Amino acid sequence: MKNQEQEPRDAVSPHGQVPKEETKRIFLTGATGFLGTVLLCDLLKRGHTVTALVRAQKGLSAGDRLKNRLLDYDPEFPWDQFSERNLFAVEGDTTQLFFGIGKRLYDEYAASTDVVIHNAACTALETDWKSLEAINIGGTREAIEFASHTHAKALVHVSSAYVAGERTGVVREDELLMTEGFRNGYERSKAIAENEVRDAAASGRIRFLIVRPSIIVGDSRSGYMCPNHHFFDLIFRLLTIRRMIRDKTDDGRFRIPGDPNATKNFIPVDYVAKLISLLLETDEAWGKAFHLTDPAPIRLEMLNLYVRTALDWPDLVWCPKEDIKELSLLERRFFRSIKIYEKYFWQEAFFDQSQLKSVLGVRLPVFDQMSQETVDRMVKFIQAKYAGRDTARKQRSARKKDGKISTVQPLCA
């Protein structure tokens, strides 16, 4: 990433840290998720103190789970430098009363918090509504309640650009949200949650700052993604199909339903983290919502070119709606396996960023557009991650044959 112009000298230090007197004590939910891990790194490197609420997981303490996630993202992360100095892990759950930590600790953390960042969410697009309601809506209500007990009552809420649902055309950051017209339960739950934040602010309970990322993809430098991330899953499925049909058919063409002329908005995870950090440090940002999106979204035709080059699959093509009925048996099976993503392969809205540009001005970082290099980097990361998982799976199988029991922890929250 690079800046449009040189940043003011008093904005941050050459190392990206804010002046010591401007650092904040931050309470972060969703710290072990894809965005949460990268955001946590950015906040710490900028000098803030972070208390991370981490869900329990069998066999791992909150601290160990957090450490594993940070080192998975950055093997050189200086855990010993930050742990119990600027970084504290507390085991809890946003869906529970008092986050499941008891009122005494709850009040202590609230008294020592300047800003709450609510990032925890269920991102499964079409899971059961009960789960989405409990985590995305109920969890947001608990975050609001916690923020209302802090002295500054400041809540950064991580929403989604796709609260715009199936709208097309320009969507402004200051528009009221829709109450219907969503592609799935995830979009609906995030829209309801965002309205909960606005209602709480309107009643004077909290101050808010809402960020709406588009489709978050791999780190711009390393390609890092979580294995349960949607883009990771899509590419892995394509890799699997590619291996299945390579050298087994004279017709290498493989069709995926989608409009090659449609645009799709992808944003690197490290860019999203950087923007959230900058916004929460900016007084003018409070009380507003911001689209953390690509100002020049890529067309699917160009994305397909990058993907098929990275996969060495020149005959991977988009299939218009009228030709879906002509898909082969294998193509139809693949289509069914990615049905939850197919709704995003057609035209979407354009996310206006007027407020973001106005508030950050020359401090607004710009990033390199999606390119062959960035797609290659993400594909290589996915291939390496799954090569490692295949090895681990074989080792587990061997141990089971020897009568040994192995517990495997998922890589993402």
pLDDT tier at 397 (50, 70, 90 boundaries)? low
How does DSSP assign 176-203, residue by residue? PPPSS--SSHHHHHHHHHHHHHHHHHHT
- For residue 41, tell me if it sits in a domain: yes
Q: Are residues 181 and 304 in the same domain?
A: no
| Range with the poorest average pLDDT among 1-10, 68-77, 154-163, 232-241 | 1-10
Q: Are residues 17 and 164 in the same domain?
A: yes
Distance CA 387, CA 364 (A): 37
pLDDT tens digit string along 77-88? 999 999 989 999
- For residue 389, tell me if it sits in a domain: no
Structure tokens at 100: 């499941």
Q: Are residues 12 and 73 in the same domain?
A: yes
- For residue 109, tell me if it sits in a domain: yes
CB-side exposure of 374: number of CA atoms within 13 Å? 19
Q: What is the pLDDT, as a whole number, of residue 243?
A: 82
Beta strands 87-91 and 49-54 are: parallel
Measure Cα distances from 283 to 147, 277, 279, 280 in Å: 17, 12, 8, 7
| Range with the poorest average pLDDT among 1-10, 50-59, 233-242 | 1-10
Q: Are residues 244 and 367 in the same domain?
A: no
Q: What is the pLDDT, as a whole number, of residue 3?
A: 45
Distance CA 178, CA 181 (A): 7
Q: Are residues 237 and 286 in the same domain?
A: no
Domain count, the chain: 2
Q: Are residues 18 and 107 in the same domain?
A: yes
Residues 6+ apart with CB under 8 A from 69: 31, 32, 37, 412, 413
Domain holding 184, by residue range, is 2-218+265-293+347-376
CA angle, 77 then 39 then 381, to 5°: 65
- For residue 387, tell me if it sits in a domain: no
Q: Are residues 120 and 269 in the same domain?
A: yes
Q: Are residues 200 and 314 in the same domain?
A: no
- For residue 399, tell me if it sits in a domain: no
Give the predicted TM-score (pTM) of the model. 0.88
Q: Are residues 192 and 209 in the same domain?
A: yes
pLDDT tens digit string along 222-233? 999 988 788 899
Mean pLDDT, the chain, as a whole number?
88
